[in-house]
Every structure is written in C-alpha cells, then in structure tokens.
Chain A
Amino acid sequence: MAGAIIEQQAAPEKNIALLGSIFGISGANSAYGILDSMGITNMYNSWWFMTLLFVFAMNIIVCSLDRLPGILNITREPLKPLPEERFKAVPPGREAVLKVPDGKAEEMVTAALKNIGFTARAGKSEGVTQICAEKGRYGRLGVYVTHLSILFILTGAVVGMKFGFTAEVKLLEGMSSDVVMTGNGREIPLGFEIRCDDFDVSFYPESERPKSFTSILTVVEEGGDVLTRQIEVNRPLRHRGITFYQSGHGLFPNSDALFKFRLNAAEGRTQDISVKLLQRFEIAGSKLTARVVDFSPALAINGEGEVFTVAESMINPGAMVEFSEGDKVMAGQWILRNYPDTWETPAGVLEFRDLWGVQYTGLLVRKDPGIWLVYFGFILMATGLYGAFFITHNRIWIRLNEEEDATGISIVSSANRNRSALDRKLDRLIEDLTKRGGSPDQGAS
C-alpha cells in the first residue's frame, strides 16, 4: 500500500519533496536513502515485491490444487442416482402423483425437464428408477480458471520485465534514431532506424483543447524506407516486436527549421516555398524578394490588432515576413497559420502551411514478449469469472415410485448458488407435471 502513496520510478526530487513535507528538509534526503535501499521507491520491481508475488502465486496454486480433484470429479462424471435414503426427507411441494399407465411417467418427466431446459438421464438406485438432470456443471471450474488466469498474468508480467524494455525517444521532425533510452539511462539499439517525418497537434475549433497528436513515422532498414505510418495516441506503430506510442511533444526552436508557404499569385499561378529563417526567396513573376525575420509558435491578435504570443506549444505559428523590391525594404508583416486574413501580402496570398523541424515528437518505445501471456490471462479471467458468477450448477434427481396405475414422484435438487432461481424452475416443473398427469386431488386425465 505504501506504493500507492510514494510515487514509483519517479525522479528522486519529487519524492524527496514529498518526504520533505513530512520529515523536514534535512531529514528528507536521509529518509529517501533509507527508502531507496529498501526498494520502496521502485518497489514493484524490487526483490521483496517479487517474493511477495511469488508467495501469492504459490498460495493460489496450493489452495486450488487442494480443492480441484473433487471439483474435477463432479464435472467429469455423469450425474449418478442418489441413494434411497436421500428421498426420506423431500422438501415440501416437491412431490406429486402422476396417474398415468405404467412406463409413461418416465417419458412425461423427461419432457417436463426439457421444458425447463434440462436434459434427463434415467438410472436406477436400489431397484427404483431415478431420473437425473444437471446444467452448468462447467461453471464450477470458473473459480479455477480465474485462479489460473492470475498465474498467466503474473508470469506474463515477469517475462515482460525480464526480457522486455520500456524506453523513450524524442525525434525532431526530419530526424531519426536507431537507439532508445530507458528510464535509468540505458541505451538500447533497435536494430533499425525510426524517423519522424512530421508531427502535428490539432486543436478543437476556438479552444486550446487538443484534438489530436499525430506523428508520421518511417522505419528505415539498411538505408531504405521500409514502412511509413501515421500514429496517434490510441494508435501505436508496431515493428519487429517493438511498439512506438505517441506519448509527448515539444518545441525545439532551431535555425534549420523550414517555413513552408504556398503563394497564390494574382494570375492563378501557385508557387511552393520552403525556406529557413532569414533565407531570402524570390517571388516568381515579380521583382519582389522576401525573407522570414522572426517567428513565434502561438500568436494571437488583440483588440488593437497587435500580435502576442499565447502559448509555448505550436497552437498557431506565426512568421514575420519582410518583403523587398530590389534594395528597398518594405514593411514586415506577421503571417499566422490559422488566420487566413493575415495571408494577404503585396505579392499575393501567401498561405502559411507549416513550420517544419521545430517540433519534436516524444515516443514511448516498448518491447514486451510477455504481453501475449498477459492477454491470454485476460481472456481466461473473463471466461473464468463468467463461469464462476453467471453460470449456476443445478442438479435435479427425480425418483419414480411406480405403482399399478399411478407413479409417485419425489424431487431432490441442489444448486451451488442462486437457490431461489432453481426453486422457481422446480415450481414450474411440478405445475407442468400435474397438468400433464393429473394431481393427487384431481382424477386421471
């Protein structure tokens, strides 16, 4: 339970701060040292937590094995007739007399059992005919399937911990990497290269609420592109057992970033432009040149028409574009990606398409060979719980006491849970039988 309070695998500073609020600053560092050596700061990976899990698993195995043979017998063998003495005390309302010719009663009881969903089997005990029926016997195994599933999940988790890794990599647009870093600074080679072609955040209209984080990733093997996929938060990329998850993003302003514009000039000509900061470009078909002299990741316009930076992430990148005609420098102009009104320039409509190469995508990289064991455990657990909680094992024994022109029937039953549901069914059974074969107080049919 301590693990629920002390943040696990976190940077030491965070937990020291937490301890500081309890023990005071001077005590915090030594307290952290003690906790660290006990493995409490990373207790879910520590030796004693593993031991605890092992003991828990052994406990499940031993307790299940203890009861399993008896239960297996119940589920394996067909239902046997009960000894006569069990019919000495039949519960009230569980007896009836069928006034039908000899031999007909068995057929009638079988049909009535079928009506409440049971398949009957006839048998004899001490010379008296008994009809046995049961339903849901495999539900009894549900508990053991659930216990087994826990073992699968734990094994899968341990396999994942021992033979897998969880790491991170940050890729600037256009950059690639063939290694990733784990939380404790270990470098892991991927065996291939992963490249980020583009990263984009989109926002809901008129709000700063992000709608999607998307990265376009390319896998590079031996110098050639193998596959390109777009990933999102709930849609990772898998390659050679390694999965890449969209987990973060950020800005890294640098002079290699490219401003991508599309110029729609007056005569319907379009021109795609891709330039770095301060790099002069020519406007085709005119004497104008231009260059980007400043930029901001998130610009907005206030009431007076002035621009200001609203956030540190790229909500609405803006570029200050300065036009020149020959040596004559004209006034610069802010062009904002999300505001088409600002695209109107002396050279035509300069559409700001993207600022590429300043954002990086944060990827969580994971290899987990144990995951299939875990998933198999999940399926087992769901099946087991269904069996344990939603299937009831009902057993019915009906003794036929055959006389000359009438048969007395007595019913004994058992249910491993939800007794009242079985009782309602038996009430229906008795009602059905008395209707078919006449009741003690009515005449023969």
Chain B
Amino acid sequence: MNSSFFFGISTIVYLLAMIVYIAYLAFRKNPIGLVATAATIAGFVLQTIAFGLRWKEFADIGQMGFLRAVPLTNLYESLVFFVWLIILGYLIIEWRYSNRLFGAFVTPIAGILLAFISIGGVSTQIQPLVPALQSNWLLAHVTMSFISYAAFAISFATAIMCLILNTENRRQFVYIFWTSTCALFITALIAMGVDFLTMKVSARSSQAFIQNYLFKATFRNESGMVVLASILLLTGITFLMWRFGYLLRGLIESFSITAETLDDLTYRLVAIGFPVFTIGGLIFGAIWADQAWGRYWSWDPKETWSLIIWLVYAIYLHTRQAFGWRSNRTAVIAVVGFAVTMFTYLGVNLLLGGLHSYGAQ
C-alpha cells in the first residue's frame, strides 16, 4: 500500500462527502450533516497518511535527508497539498463556527481537483531535487507559502460571499465587480478542466504544465475559432453571472450567516495568511536566495509579484486599521489580493519566467 493508493481512496471519500454535503444543503437534516463531516474527516486522515507515505518514499528515493524530502516539488504534489490545506482550513472553520455552508463548496473543489489529477494523468513520478532546491529552507519556504495561499484562497471565498450578501442592485459597482470576478474564475476553472481532459497532461512540474498545457485547449489554442469560442464563453458566463448572481444571496442567507461574520472571517484569514506569507514566503525565501543565488532579492518576476501580493494585503490591513474600512470596501481588496496571488502562481510562470522556474527543461 503506497501513497497513491491512499490518495486514490481519499479522492473517492471526498467525492462522497461532496454528495452528502449537497444532500445536506437540500434537506437540512442534522444526521446528514454529521455524515458529511465524518466523511470529510475520514478523507482528510487518509490524505494525511498518504502525504506522510509520499514523504517517506521521496526521502528513500532522493537520498537527500528526511527534512529536505518534503513532497512539494512538482505539480501533482503541490495540488494535492493545496487540497489538503483547504480541507484542513474548512474543518477548522466548520468546528469554530458550527456552520456547514462552506462544505458544499469546498468538498467539490477538493474532490474534483483530485479526480482531475488522476484522470488527467498528471505525472505522479517522484523526481529527485536539483542542486538549487537541496536546502533545509525548502520545507519552511514552500509549506509556509502554501499555507498562506490556502488562507488567501479561503478569504477570497468568504470575501465574495460577503459581497454577495451586501449587494442587490445590478448597476452597483461592487455587484459588477464580484460577478465578473466569479465569472473569470469559473471560466478559468472550466478551461483548466478542458485542458486536463483533452490534453492528457503529462507535465511533471507546475512550470511545465502552465507553459505547455494551461489554456491550450481554449484561450491559447492554435485555432482562432476555438479562441473566439472561448472568449464568447467567457462573455456568456460573465453575463449570466451578472444577470442571475443575486440569486446566490438567498442561498447564503438561508444559512443564517451574516455579512459581519463573513467580513470578520475574511479578516482573520488574512491576519493568518499575511504574517505567514511575509515570514515564510518573503523572509525565508530571501534568506534562502541569499544562500543559493547570492542575492536576497533579485526582482525576479515571481519575487516582484509576491511583493505586490504583500502590498495588496498590507493595504487591506491598513485600510481596516487606520481608516476603519469594513465589509464591501475591504472585501474588494481581499478579492483583488487573491486574484494577484493566482496571477503570481499561473501568470508569472506563463508569461514571464525567471529564477523561480524550476523544471522548465
């Protein structure tokens, strides 16, 4: 029984949890909710075992010491870890707020993402580390960056929900803002799904995946017609979101969660993500870069864009603290912050390259 076996089982369990959560959403019966939570916890435990096993397998193959063998060095591993973190974050929120609303949104993301990984044939091969990555800083830098990304991702979701609750007028700027952002994310997710299904992705590193496969089946297709169709799809989804987005409001309201709670939750997530990102992503990254490259800051595109992420969330915190901004105004900043985070992860690799492009060969 190796790590892939446990990953496979946890994928199935998450997909089951997804079905139960949706059933809970429909019927609102407590026993169903308990089953859903139990299934998610079971999936999480299985995935944790799988993660530990993968770590051990990596250490055995790579022969580079246990601490350096953190299995976070390619696309497969980072997607799996991201799912693990999101589920962990969700379970904490469900426990602290006794609210299962998010479960119906989080488990589908987890299950579908993991299912895509197995169906799409993302390479699960273990690759030993190139010299630049052989450092004890790898563990701290990469895990902390991912923890902050996950916190930002969840804060994005809560910020969007806060905006959904606070808007009703289709002519309002904030309404147009959140519907079009949602449309953009949904389209990107669909496009990535199409990539996975049509391309039989065999990329090993996220860098190679992003450069060679991302949006190749849609927006970056060789055929102009496909590109045009993709743009039309994006326009269509944007219009539909704009036209019917307000319907989501009733759904969220039915969970008796207030905009204030969501605003507070967004703030707390940013208040975890920001210091972890600063210390783990920026400071540890700089110390490592100083050791490996001889420059603690090289203005490499990923670094520059990380600084932009940092500034956006710093603005978020300062407007709250110094100007007392709340609710809509800060939620918009949180949404922008995560959009920049996504651009740093996808766009910088896609368009700009730089020192952080490992495994581009």
Contact = CB atoms under 8 A, between A and B. Distances in A.
A binds B: yes
Interface of A: 1, 3-5, 8, 44, 63, 143, 157, 166, 204, 209-213, 232-236, 243, 245-247, 364-366, 371, 374-375, 378, 381-382, 385-386, 388-390, 417
A164 to B, nearest CB: 11
A111 B271 CA distance: 33
B108 interface: no
A4 B304 CA distance: 6
Contact of B293 (A8, A247, A388): A247
Give the most central of B131, B132, B134, B296: most A CB within 10 Å. Answer: B131
A209 B275 contact: no
Contact of A234 (B128, B131, B297): B131
Interface stretch (B9-17, B75-83, B241-249, B283-291): B283-291
Identify whether the interface residues of A are mostly helix, strand, loop, or mixed.
mixed
A23 B316 CA distance: 37
A166 B305 contact: no
A209 B128 contact: yes
9 contacts: A4-B352, A5-B352, A204-B128, A209-B130, A232-B131, A236-B291, A389-B274, A390-B275, A417-B271
B278 interface: yes
Given A211-B128, A378-B283, A382-B283, A4 B294 contact: no
B135 interface: yes
Contact of B294 (A5, A247, A374, A375): A247
Nearest to B278: A385
B173 to A, nearest CB: 23
B134 A234 contact: yes
Nearest to B307: A4
Contacts of A232: 131
Contacts of A212: 131, 134
A166 B295 contact: yes
Interface of B: 127-128, 130-132, 134-135, 271-272, 274-275, 278-279, 283, 286-287, 290-297, 299, 301, 304-305, 308, 321-322, 352
Given A166-B294, A209-B128, 15 more contacts: A3-B304, A4-B352, A44-B299, A209-B130, A232-B131, A233-B132, A233-B292, A234-B131, A234-B292, A235-B291, A236-B291, A366-B294, A371-B296, A375-B287, A378-B286
Nearest to A377: B283
Contacts of A381: 278-279, 283
Contacts of A390: 275
A389 B305 contact: no
A210 B131 contact: yes
Contacts of B272: 389
A246 B293 CA distance: 8
Contacts of A385: 274-275, 278-279
Contact of B308 (A1, A157, A235): A1
Nearest to B271: A389
A104 B322 CA distance: 44
Contacts, number: 79
A377 to B, nearest CB: 9
A70 B297 CA distance: 35
Nearest to A156: B296
Give the most central of B127, B271, B294, B304: most A CB within 10 Å. Answer: B294
Nearest to B301: A4
B283 A213 contact: no
Given A382-B279, A389-B275, A3 B294 contact: no
B131 A4 contact: no
A157 B286 CA distance: 12
Nearest to B132: A233
A125 B182 CA distance: 56
A425 to B, nearest CB: 16
A371 B290 contact: yes
Contacts of B305: 4
A5 B343 CA distance: 13
A134 B275 CA distance: 24
A180 to B, nearest CB: 12
Nearest to A168: B294
A417 B321 CA distance: 11
A366 B299 CA distance: 17
Nearest to B296: A374
B294 A234 contact: no
Give the most central of A1, A3, A210, A389: most B CB within 10 Å. Answer: A389
Contacts of B283: 378, 381-382
Nearest to B288: A234
Contacts of B293: 245, 247, 364
Contacts of B135: 234
Given A212-B131, A234-B131, A378-B286, A243 B294 contact: yes
Q: Which 7 A-B pairs have the closest CB atoms?
A: A245-B294, A233-B131, A385-B275, A4-B304, A364-B294, A234-B135, A389-B275
Nearest to A244: B294
Contacts of B296: 371, 374
A374 B297 CA distance: 11
Given A3-B304, A385-B279, A213 B131 contact: yes
A418 to B, nearest CB: 8
A353 B211 CA distance: 40
A398 B135 CA distance: 53
A243 B293 CA distance: 11
A366 B293 CA distance: 10
Contacts of B292: 233-234, 245
Contacts of B274: 385, 389
A8 B278 contact: no
Nearest to B292: A234
B130 A210 contact: yes
B132 A234 contact: yes
Contacts of A1: 308
Contacts of B294: 166, 236, 243, 245, 247, 364-366
Contact of B127 (A209, A233, A371, A382): A209
B132 A3 contact: no
Contacts of B322: 63
A234 B136 CA distance: 10
Contact of B291 (A3, A210, A234): A234
A234 B129 CA distance: 13
Contacts of B308: 1, 4
A233 B287 CA distance: 14
Contacts of A63: 322
A411 B239 CA distance: 54
Nearest to A385: B275
A52 B127 CA distance: 43
Contacts of A8: 299
Contacts of A388: 275
